[in-house]
Amino acid sequence: MRNYAHLELQPAPGLNVFVGANAQGKSNLLEAISLLGTGKSFRTNRERDLIRDGFELATISGEAHVKAGAIRLGCTLTATPRGSRKLYTVNGRSVRYATFLGSLRVVSFVPADLHLVDGPPSVRRSFLNSALAQEQKSYYRELARYQKALSQKTALLRAEAAPDPELLKIYDETLVTSGTALMIARNHFVRALGAAASKVHARWSDGREHLELTYRPNVQFEAETEDSIAGSFEERLRAGAEMERLRRVALVGPHRDDLALDLDGRSLAAFGSQGQQRTAVLAVKVGEYAVMHERSGEAPLLLLDDVLSELDPQRARAFLEGVGEFEQAFITATQLPGALSLASVYEIRDARVIPGPS
Amino acid sequence: MPSSGSIAGPVQALINELSKLPTIGPKTAARLVFYLLNRPRNEAQSLAEAILAVKDRVRLCSNCFSITEEDPCPICTDERRDATIICVVAEAKDIFALERTGAYKGRYHVLGGLISPMDGIGPAQLRVKELVDRVGRENPHEIILATNPNAEGEATAVYLSRLLTPLASAVTRLAYGLPIGGDLDYADEVTLAKAIEGRRTL
């Protein structure tokens, strides 16, 4: 996979730190581990890039010890003329993505996550989606149904001919049923995430600052019930139908949701200093870890790709303390971060993993 | 393996032709070509003729749009088949699957695809108007919608059911459920949930 021809690794419990210069294969290693959890790369949508240049196949497999016992997970990518194909296995049996997903829970933190506050809403939506899809299979299923119907609706609106109203109605019905499920799940999750993130944030600021996370659904609703949300959704679709036809875009629904991050009641993106924004992102990531830990009843794997080197030592230490007792973590860094103790250290040089301190 | 420039022209040409086929990549194509090279000439000839015959002699039935040698097709002209039931399928190959069961005695209608605006396919690109005309003409008792249980198949079935319900006495959809001989704990959650929804009294 990527620059690795072959690698076998038996990581230690606790902290595993991969140290090496740039472009030696540190992130590739983490990417491979995350692939076993989420089934997707945390870096790219073009999965063909995961296959080593000049080869047609990439395969990663691992044994994980989870609450349910030991499981063997595998993911194989095969190059095809138009991209790549992925096959998933659990205990040697080939399974669908929906079955594979969530067998091993992973929380990853990569430099791109630092834009959770100052990036566009799509960054926050995909953060919510990947956390929730890992946690609930039904969320992934509804998301896939929603996105399919949305693409069909968009294509219909963009077509030269006037959209067939009956057909538009059929896609809108799917958007409402799946979209309502997404909104309910996001609402619950953001509430739990907000509570966990603001708790750790309060500890860091000695209670001087208050971090607040608020779910900002595109379709606002009064009561958090399926009927109320679906009702508001239908109403907004009816009211917006004319505008959607004119602008040829699907304007209504959770594909336009956002997540607001406020510090002491003021928008962090607009008013927060860079330091405040970073601390908030760390708190959100610690919150994600805590919520996933609590909801699944087991500690997720923690993957930190190069973020500790981007943070000052004080914040790096605060983050690791915030996460608390993780069972296993994988960290990459160009230099051994001072914040780490009791770590198993490996040096990565030209796609080779050399145990022992560098 | 020699580079493509050093392979005899006709060999390369056939590899190129075969790799255009679905599920066949350049490697499989090369294997087929070298296999054919070692077979007697008459085998190659009958393969070539069979391919041409498919193009020259097979056409669409003007009634149900299935593929046939004679128009109308044998299913549409078979008096023993029930003309009051029309089973709507996406492609002619679906008829082969249903016919293998031997359980269906009615007639068919081939849509020629499924509704998918992303792929530029709307009701106008399919034989929907032909179906509506046929239903008006033949006045069937039942129309069975036998499209695939995926997003496009579902959307097409819902669209057709709304269009046809005022015109026919019964519009039905194939049941969803568990594969026969399967195990409950091997079934995925969606299929199982659909099977519970579609349960029936014994």
Contact (CB<8Å) A149/B163: no
Last residue within a domain, chosen from B57, B75, B101: B57
In the A/B pair of chains, how many CB contacts fall below 8 A?
45
Structural domain range at position B90: 60-201
pLDDT of residue A352: 77
Asked whether the predicted pLDDT for residue A187 surpasses 60, the reply is yes
A42 is a domain residue: no
pLDDT band at A357 (very low <50, low <70, confident <90, very high): low
A108 is a domain residue: no
Residue B123, chain A, CB below 8 Å: the answer is yes
Interface test with A, best of B20, B27, B118 (most A CBs within 10 A): B118
Residue B118, chain A, CB below 8 Å: the answer is yes
State whether B107 and B11 are in the same domain.
no
Q: How do strand A69-80 and strand A57-66 relate by DSSP bridges? A: antiparallel
State whether B91 and B103 are in the same domain.
yes
pLDDT band at B127 (very low <50, low <70, confident <90, very high): very high
A142 is a domain residue: yes
A341 is a domain residue: no
The three-state (H, E, C) secondary structure of chain A, written as one string: CCCCCCCCCCCCCEEEEEECCCCCCHHHHHHHHHHHHHCCCCCCCCHHHHCCCCCCEEEEEEEEEECCEEEEEEEEEEEECCEEEEEEEECCEEECHHHHCCCCCEEEECHHHHHCCCCCHHHHHHHHHHHHHHHCHHHHHHHHHHHHHHHHHHHHHHCCCCCCHHHHHHHHHHHHHHHHHHHHHHHHHHHHHHHHHHHHHHHHCCCCCCEEEEEECCCCCCCCCHHHHHHHHHHHHHHHHHHHHHHCCCCCCHHHCEEEEEECCEEHHHHCCHHHHHHHHHHHHHHHHHHHHHHHCCCCEEEEECHHHHCCHHHHHHHHHHHCCCCEEEEEECCCCCCCCCEEEEEEECCEEEECCC
State whether B196 and B100 are in the same domain.
yes
Residue found by looking up tokens 């080593």 in the block: A52
Last residue within a domain, chosen from B57, B77, B98: B57
B45: CATH: 1.10.8.420
Partners of B117 on chain A (C-beta within 8 Å) are 152-153, 155-156, 159, 167
The number of distinct structural domains making up chain A is 1
In this prediction the ipTM stands at 0.78
Residue of chain A nearest B188, judged by CA positions: A99
Nearest chain B CA: its distance from A253 CA (Å): 19
pLDDT band at A1 (very low <50, low <70, confident <90, very high): low
Query: pLDDT tens-digit profile of B59-105?
Result: 999 999 999 999 899 999 999 999 999 999 999 999 999 999 888 99
Nearest chain A CA: its distance from B114 CA (Å): 12
| Amino acid in position B12 | Q
State whether B76 and B141 are in the same domain.
yes
Interface test with A, best of B163, B190, B191, B197 (most A CBs within 10 A): B190
Interface test with A, best of B158, B164, B186 (most A CBs within 10 A): B158
Structural domain range at position A214: 117-279
A36 is a domain residue: no
Partners of A167 on chain B (C-beta within 8 Å) are 115, 117, 122-123, 155, 159
Pick the closest to residue A318 from A270, A269, A275 (CA basis): A275
- DSSP 8-state assignment for residue B125: G
A24 is a domain residue: no
State whether B94 and B138 are in the same domain.
yes
Report how far residue A346's alpha carbon sits from residue A26's, in angstroms, rounded to the nearest whole number.
Answer: 10
Buried b (16+ CB within 10 A) or exposed e, B82-95: eeebbbbbbbbebb
Report how far residue A134's alpha carbon sits from residue B77's, in angstroms, rounded to the nearest whole number.
Answer: 54
Q: How do strand A343-349 and strand A328-333 relate by DSSP bridges? A: unpaired
- DSSP 8-state assignment for residue B153: H
A151: CATH: 1.20.1050.90
Residue of chain A nearest B26, judged by CA positions: A81
Share of chain A above pLDDT 70, in %: 96
State whether B81 and B47 are in the same domain.
no
B171: CATH: 3.40.1360.10
State whether B179 and B119 are in the same domain.
yes
The number of distinct structural domains making up chain B is 2
Query: pLDDT tens-digit profile of A113-148?
Result: 888 999 999 999 999 998 999 888 889 999 999 999
Query: pLDDT tens-digit profile of B143-179?
Result: 999 999 899 999 999 999 999 999 888 999 988 888 8
State whether B8 and B76 are in the same domain.
no
State whether B48 and B70 are in the same domain.
no
- DSSP 8-state assignment for residue B4: G
State whether B28 and B80 are in the same domain.
no
Last residue within a domain, chosen from B31, B57, B83: B57
